[in-house]
Structure 1
Amino acid sequence: MSTPDISVVICAYTEDRWEDILAAVASVRAQSRPALETLLVVDHNEALRDRLGQEYKEAEDVRVLANAGPRGLSAGRNTGIAAARGGVIAFLDDDAVAERDWLLHFAGAYDDPSVMAVGGRTVPVWASGRRPVWFPEEFDWVVGCTYRGLPPGRVRVRNVLGGNASFRREAFDAAGGFATGIGRDGDKRPLGCEETELCIRLTRARPDAVLLIDDRAVIHHRVPAPREHFAYFRTRTYAEGLSKALVARSVGADKGLESERRYASRVLPAGVVRGLRDAALARPGGAGRAGAIVAGVLTAAGGYLVGSLRARRGAVTFSSAPIGGDGRD
C-alpha cells in the first residue's frame, strides 16, 4: 500500500504571531518528505487573512483560507480538513516549527493500513531561555508539549496531541470532525481536549483503528513569557478539568479518563517523590516542582467537578462536526 500525500493545516488567529506563522510555514516547506500543500486557516481575522494572502500569493504550495465555522480552533481545523486534498492531514501549531523529518516519520507509520492517526513529540522553547525551575516536566501539557509519563518510541496510544498530529482522511469520514465547544474558541480560558474526544470517537467508530505516537516526529513549540508563570499554570490546569468533564460527558468516563487515571496514580506521585528528593538534596526547584504537581492535581480536579456540574445542568453544549464542503458544523 503506497503512503498517501500529506496536507498540513496550520490554524492562525492573531498578527501578534506573524513571525511565528512564517517560521511554521517555512519549516513545512523545508521537509525532507514534501507536503502536498500547506493550508493556513485564519480564525475570523480579516486583516491577518489579507496579510497572509499577500505574503503567499505567488506560492503554489500554500493556500490561505478563512475559518468557515464558528470562532475557535476546532472549527478552523475542520475548515482545513474539508479543503485538504491529501489522504493524510497533519496539524502544526502556528507558534511551532517542525524538524526536517517530521512528515517523513508520520508517513512511515501509514504504510500500515490500520493506522488512522500518528502524533509526535513536542519540545518546549521557553521565552526565558530555560525551563522555570519550579515547572514539572509531568505538566508540560500545560504549555502544549510532550510531558513526562508518555512512553518513548513509536507506541500505541489512546489519543494523539493536537498541535503535532496527523490523521488519515478516512478517520474523519468515520468519526466526523473536531467537536466545537470543547477546545479553544477565542475565549480567554485556555480549554483543550478536543483531540482526545475525537480520538475516542474514532476508535468507537473504527474498533480496528490504530493510533500511534512516534517521538521521532519532533516539533519545537514556543512558550511565551506569560505562560512561564504559576498564574497561567493554575488557569490552564483548571481549564483542563473543565474540558475533561466535557469529554467524559461526550464519550463516557471510562474512556474519557482512562489514561488520566494511570497518569494521576503513577506518574504524578513519582514526580512528587522526585521533587521532594531533589529538595532534600538541595537541588534548585525541587520543592516547587512537588508543590506544583499537587496544586495542578487539585486545580484540575476542581475544574472537573465544576465542569461536571455544569454539564448536568445543561449549561454547556458542544457538537461533533461532520466534515463537509465548507467546513461548517
Structure 2
Amino acid sequence: MIAASVIVPTLNRADLLAGCLQSLAAQDVPAGDFEVLVVDNGSTDGTAALCAEAPERFGLNRLAGLRCVVEPEPGLLSGRHRGALEAKGGVLVFVDDDIVAAPGWLSALLRAFDDPRVHLAGGPSVGRFAVAPPEWFAHFQRRDPWGESCPALSLIHMGHEPRMVEPHFVWGLNYAIRRQTLFDLGGFHPDCIPARLQHFQGDGETGLSFKLARGGHLCAYAPGALVEHCIPASRLTLDAFWRRFFYQGVCDSYTAIRRLGAVPPKPEAEALAQSSLAAHHGPGRTEPELSRIHQGYAQGYLFHNAAVAASPALLGWVLRRDYFDYRPPTLEPGAAERIAALREAAQ
C-alpha cells in the first residue's frame, strides 16, 4: 500500500525540478511506500524530457512510481487538484518544484500521522540563497516567540521540537494532509494565477487551513521535515518584493470577501487593507523603496476589491463552495476590460 503521494506542480522550471526530484529519490522511506506525481502545467522547456529520464537518472524507479501528468488549465490550484485526483496515497504531500527535501523529510511527516487525530503536518523551510540577501531583506524577517519566518519567501522555522500548531503555520511548499480530509473540506482555493488573470486569484492553502482550524482538526509541526527553498537573485529585488506584496493583498482581499459574503464598500476596504497589512507584515518603513513595497500590499488588496465589485460573475467565483471543477467563469461584457484598467492603474 502506498502511504504517501508527493505532488509537485511545475511550469517551465526543469532545472529546479531536477533538484527537487533528486532530493525525493534520496528519501529514507522504504521503497514502494510513496509515489511522486509531477503535474506539468503546460511546460514548453525540458520538463517532459526530465520526467522521462528521472527514474533512471535519480533512481526514482525504486519507488512506487514517478508519474507525470499534463494539466493545461493555468494556475497552481489546477495542478494541486489534478494531483490529488490522480494520487494513490492516503497522505497527500504538496511541495513546490523549487524545494530540496532533507533525506528524513518524508519519514518525519509520515510519523506525524501516526497520531490519528492529526490531519495536517508540515515542517521548517529554510532559504538556499543563490546570492547573499541585500541589507534591506532583514526588515522582512520576523522573529516571534515560536520561531522565525519570512512570509514573502515562504521561509519558516519553529524550532527543533515537535508540537501541535495552528494550521496557518503550514505553508504550501511543504504541506501534508490526509487525502480524505482534503476532499471532505473542499480542497484548495485558487493560487498563483498568471498576472493577466490575477483577479481570479484566491488564498491558496490558507482557505483550507482556515477550514481545518474551524473543524478542530489537529496540525503537527515536524522539525525533521525540513526543506530548503531555492531563492534566485531575481526574487531578492525591491520589484520582486513589491509584486509579492501586491499578490498577498489580492489574496487577503479574497479571504475578506469570502468571510463577509460580499464586497465591502471602498472606505471599509481601505481600512481592512491597512489593518491586515499591520497584522501580517508589521509596521511599514519610511524609506521610499521599502514604503513602496508595503504600499504594494494595499494596492493589490484594493485592486481585487474593486475588480470583484465590477463583476457579479467574479463575486460568484470568490464565493464558490469549492474549486474541484476548476474553470474560471466568463465575465460580463466589458468587465474584463474594466478589470484590466483597474490592474493597470494599481500597478
Structure 1 length as normaliser, TM-score? 0.76
Deviation string 1:234-281 (CA, Å, 9 cap, x unpaired) is 11101110111112222449xxxx9x9798359735x97xxxxxxxxx
Which letter maps to 1:43? N
Q: Assess, with a 3 A threshold, how the Cα gap between structure 1 residues 261 and 110 changes in structure 2: closer, same or farther.
A: farther
For residues 308 and 328 of structure 1, the distance between their equivalents in structure 2, rounded to whole angstroms, comes to: 21
Contact 2:41 2:74 in 1 (8 A): yes
> Residue 158 of structure 1 is aligned with which of 162, 167, 171?
167
Shift, 1:177, TM fit: 2.1
1:217 maps to which residue?
Answer: 225
SS at match of 2:224: strand
For residues 45 and 37 of structure 1, the distance between their equivalents in structure 2, rounded to whole angstroms, comes to: 21
SS at match of 1:32: coil
Which letter maps to 1:307? H
Which letter maps to 2:136? W
Contact 2:6 2:95 in 1 (8 A): yes
Q: Assess, with a 3 A threshold, how the Cα gap between structure 1 residues 250 and 211 changes in structure 2: closer, same or farther.
A: farther
Contact 2:2 2:88 in 1 (8 A): no
Aligned residues: 292
Shift, 1:27, TM fit: 0.9
The answer to whether residue 318 in structure 2 is matched with residue 308 in structure 1 is no
SS at match of 1:171: helix
> Residue 38 of structure 2 is aligned with which of 22, 37, 40?
40
2:92 maps to which residue?
Answer: 89
For residues 262 and 105 of structure 1, the distance between their equivalents in structure 2, rounded to whole angstroms, comes to: 34
> Residue 70 of structure 2 is aligned with which of 59, 66, 73?
66
SS at match of 1:146: strand
For residues 249 and 158 of structure 1, the distance between their equivalents in structure 2, rounded to whole angstroms, comes to: 21
For residues 73 and 126 of structure 1, the distance between their equivalents in structure 2, rounded to whole angstroms, comes to: 23
- Structure 2 residues without counterparts, runs of 5 or longer: 143-148, 262-271, 329-347
For residues 99 and 192 of structure 1, the distance between their equivalents in structure 2, rounded to whole angstroms, comes to: 30
Contact 1:233 1:296 in 2 (8 A): yes
For residues 41 and 247 of structure 2, the distance between their equivalents in structure 1, rounded to whole angstroms, comes to: 21
Contact 2:101 2:227 in 1 (8 A): yes
Deviation string 1:174-219 (CA, Å, 9 cap, x unpaired) is 1122223xx1133378867300012223444xx1311233343211
For residues 213 and 4 of structure 1, the distance between their equivalents in structure 2, rounded to whole angstroms, comes to: 23
2:9 maps to which residue?
Answer: 11
Q: Assess, with a 3 A threshold, how the Cα gap between structure 1 residues 127 and 192 changes in structure 2: closer, same or farther.
A: farther
Which letter maps to 1:250? R
Deviation string 1:139-181 (CA, Å, 9 cap, x unpaired) is 722223227xx6874341132210111111121221122223x
For residues 179 and 93 of structure 1, the distance between their equivalents in structure 2, rounded to whole angstroms, comes to: 16
Q: How does 1:279-294 map to 2 (within 5 A)?
A: 292=290
Shift, 1:309, TM fit: 2.7
Q: Assess, with a 3 A threshold, how the Cα gap between structure 1 residues 47 and 137 changes in structure 2: closer, same or farther.
A: closer
2:282 maps to which residue?
Answer: 268
Contact 1:197 1:250 in 2 (8 A): no
Which letter maps to 2:121? V
Q: How does 1:180-219 map to 2 (within 5 A)?
A: 180=190, 183-187=191-195, 193-204=203-214, 207-219=215-227
> Residue 257 of structure 2 is aligned with which of 249, 264, 278?
249
Which letter maps to 1:26? Q
Contact 1:9 1:89 in 2 (8 A): yes
> Residue 137 of structure 1 is aligned with which of 141, 149, 154?
141
> Residue 98 of structure 1 is aligned with which of 77, 86, 101?
101
Shift, 1:4, TM fit: 7.6
Shift, 1:302, TM fit: 3.0
Greater RCO (Cα-Cα under 8 Å, separation 6 or more): 1
For residues 247 and 89 of structure 2, the distance between their equivalents in structure 1, rounded to whole angstroms, comes to: 33
> Residue 171 of structure 1 is aligned with which of 181, 204, 207?
181
Contact 1:119 1:217 in 2 (8 A): yes
Shift, 1:291, TM fit: 7.2
- Structure 1 residues without counterparts, runs of 5 or longer: 273-286
1:27 maps to which residue?
Answer: 23
Contact 2:238 2:289 in 1 (8 A): no
Cα-Cα RMSD: 3.4
Structure 2 length as normaliser, TM-score? 0.73
Which letter maps to 2:278? A
